[in-house]
Structure 1
């Protein structure tokens, strides 16, 4: 494991939190998110702590600024700074090992709460139901509307920014570690698999394991995903995710078989010229003059063509 440096807020040592908010980041500045959460401090009575993990950013200026900010917080908070990157699964597992609450909220650093009582709403849910797992939902309410993000925006609105009712149709599928509540005993039994590398599917695979023994709740406590990608960046992430998709298929074939992405990949797998198809749709995605919806459809087809090699 990488060497870690700890920086604590004044309230950290004496706090006995009920909820731990776990925020990993790599080369992002989580200060804006931290400030928004800190605004709720007077109403939380020390029941919520923040644990941040810098997963090997290596930016001395950012580290110094964050350490200074943490030491001024009213919320109980700890900043863990790593000297080298450990990856998405190992990083989140390390965050979990530092958490002291009985419930943990995994919150990505590029998320922004969509309500001023965001932490209070999560705390109220814990006090009312103490759920094993709950996902609060995505939105793009505060996200940038630049043209370069139009394709990602189109895909996210169609497949990720869904209502509670829509997510409940496949509870384990619509679980992302960007706004995810997990009870301590559940995570102790099922941690994130460190064998996943690159981008994608480690959170959904985790939810598939958890769903065997626990209800996966979906609630309306949304946060905006600010980190929209350019089309080229999103394509690169899909290209990284094919091996992870194969790993999920091997472990949960019955569940994955119900997913449209799997069915599309199986159809493409039968095509004699699937390599040519992949090249054509990739080129289509990159045509800026096409409508965003058409490019988003082509990008989903490109992902299915990539996944065809894994099914």
Structure 2
């Protein structure tokens, strides 16, 4: 019935697997939990214990293959008709998380289901505020809002998909660097006219990066987006960054924005890593950096 697929990188996924195992067992379903570690340097001993749990398997890769390839690899090893992808740093919000998805499976619909992402209300340390604020405002989207734009509001960190549907799409393995592999995957679902059904079945996103690391990963992701945009025009459909850059280019001010970004970059980074970062400044940082990348 259900294959639960979890890619790991430098995170202890054992508590998550234990909770999923308990819920699946309580549901009385046929299931497997497949976990692949993408050459982590941390938490190996904790994650190695996963292989000794019932209906669970654990594979540790000797070299990092990236976020697209590892998800495709997990799917290739799945034995059941439905696959639930979860990020290793998530955790079900409720004890009926699996049973809620089983209800969708029993509908036998050729759809993709997304349950949502939430963040704890407890304010983190000052050096992790940017990631928390971003998650609260841009990822923890209420169900009624998600339904208004089902493709734009979907994340692969908590997604249920039929194996036959996935095999016809796959993650783009040409995307080897961090960022936007999930965006490209969702775009392909949309282009194939496959519906995404949003339901109330959230997971907590637990792993908050420091603001400086989040900024660094954001820059890498934008570099990835630039590569995608030059090789796949389909990304222009829903990418706000690409749309905004095109507007600035048409107005002939993209180079001006690039120069302003270079002058203000350090000041913006100090603000975004402070104890009062704003998402407006973060948005300016992203479009400024993207303009800079396009001007090189």
Q: Same fold by TM-score, threshold 0.5 exceeded?
A: yes
Aligned-residue CA RMSD (Å)? 2.4
Counting matched residue pairs gives 288
Q: Secondary structure at the match of 2:223?
A: helix
Deviation track 1:109-137 (CA, whole Å, cap 9, x = no partner) reads 00011001111111111112434311111
Instruction: Determine if the alignment matches structure 1 residue 285 to structure 2 residue 265.
Output: no
Q: Give the conservation status (yes or no) of the 8 Å contact 1:136–1:219.
A: yes
Shift in alpha-carbon separation, 1:243–1:285, aligned structure 2, 3 A: closer
Shift in alpha-carbon separation, 1:235–1:218, aligned structure 2, 3 A: same
Q: Secondary structure at the match of 1:220?
A: coil
What residue number does 1:15 align with?
A: none
Divergent runs of 4+, >6 A? none
CA distance, structure 1, for counterparts of residue 65 and residue 123 of structure 2: 29
Give the Å deviation of 1:212.
Answer: 2.2
Instruction: Determine if the alignment matches structure 1 residue 114 to structure 2 residue 93.
Output: yes
Higher helix share: 2
Q: Give the conservation status (yes or no) of the 8 Å contact 1:143–1:226.
A: no
Q: Give the conservation status (yes or no) of the 8 Å contact 1:148–1:230.
A: yes
Shift in alpha-carbon separation, 1:310–1:123, aligned structure 2, 3 A: farther
Matches within 5 A, 1:78-93: 78-93=57-72
Shift in alpha-carbon separation, 1:143–1:208, aligned structure 2, 3 A: farther
| Structure 2, unpaired ranges of 5+ | none
Q: Give the conservation status (yes or no) of the 8 Å contact 2:112–2:195.
A: yes
Tell me the TM-score normalized by structure 1.
0.83
What residue number does 1:9 align with?
A: none
CA distance, structure 1, for counterparts of residue 78 and residue 183 of structure 2: 22
What residue number does 1:4 align with?
A: none
Give the Å deviation of 1:258.
Answer: 4.9
Q: Secondary structure at the match of 2:107?
A: helix
Give the Å deviation of 1:218.
Answer: 1.5
Which residue, out of 21, 35, 44, partners 2:27?
44
| Structure 1, unpaired ranges of 5+ | 1-17
Instruction: Determine if the alignment matches structure 1 residue 70 to structure 2 residue 51.
Output: yes
